Structure 1
Amino acid sequence: MSAEIMTRTATADSAEPVTAPALPADDRAGDGYDWMDTLEGTAWSVLPNWGSEGWDAGSWPYIIFAVARMRDVSGELFGYGTCVEGDNATHWFRSQERCFEAITAEVFFHWASGQSHGPDHLPTTAAELPDRDRKPYPGWTA
């Protein structure tokens, strides 16, 4: 089991300071599959799919999405993080809806740029995606 490292950050939606689990660091000794193994025993889970049809949320082993959910004294926190070719980024939200919007925007970027497989007929912006494609794949569990 990995040791959970906590970090001070601010939520992206409410800008409040929080202490939340950090994404494990990429040790650069392996690839993205090795990095996914570092999530074991932490608050983080790999997010492989997004939207109604379970399109790719990233492009393993180069683009990997992870999600976490926790509770602090003020309520629930929803996080997502990415490991893109070894560079990690983490985002925390008070609102699950805002977290899903942010994930949708980032996943859409990778679909639109051809970096991962998404819907065949993408709209111009992520905001124009139908509601069914702006949330986790229904078959996914974490």
Structure 2
Amino acid sequence: MMRAWSLPIVFLAVGAVAGAGSIVRGSTRQGVVLLVAFALLAGLNSPLVFPRSVSAAEARRRGAADGRPVVFWRPGCTYCLRLRFRLRRHARRMHWVNIWRDPEAAAAVRAVNDGNETVPTVFVAGRPHTNPDPAWVREQLVP
């Protein structure tokens, strides 16, 4: 659990130190801008940006029942953020699995990506697609 929050915490800490340093040197505006910028980076890289994660087994079960894609992701992944934001509200219609929270999920991703934990890996009808185009993923969603 802590691993998912490590990067956002580092961003907040760096922003606080950089912002405080600027304020102490007399540049209040720059300090506030730095703090806000790093807080935004922390928010974008936090697990809160993504729909609630489920286990790999639960996602597979739900995906088989309703035909929705299963997305394996991890916090801090730029490509996962790209997919999430380009899907917009459609992202909630998929099953999201955080590979840092579920060892079975990480193993499933490694099995289809030559031993690498390459994310996002999207399973559509049981077939894996590594870092697919968000427009294509949106087309795969069941109406």
TM-score by length of 2: 0.24
Q: TM-score, normalised by structure 1?
A: 0.25
Higher strand share: 1
Give the greater-gyration-radius structure (CA): 2
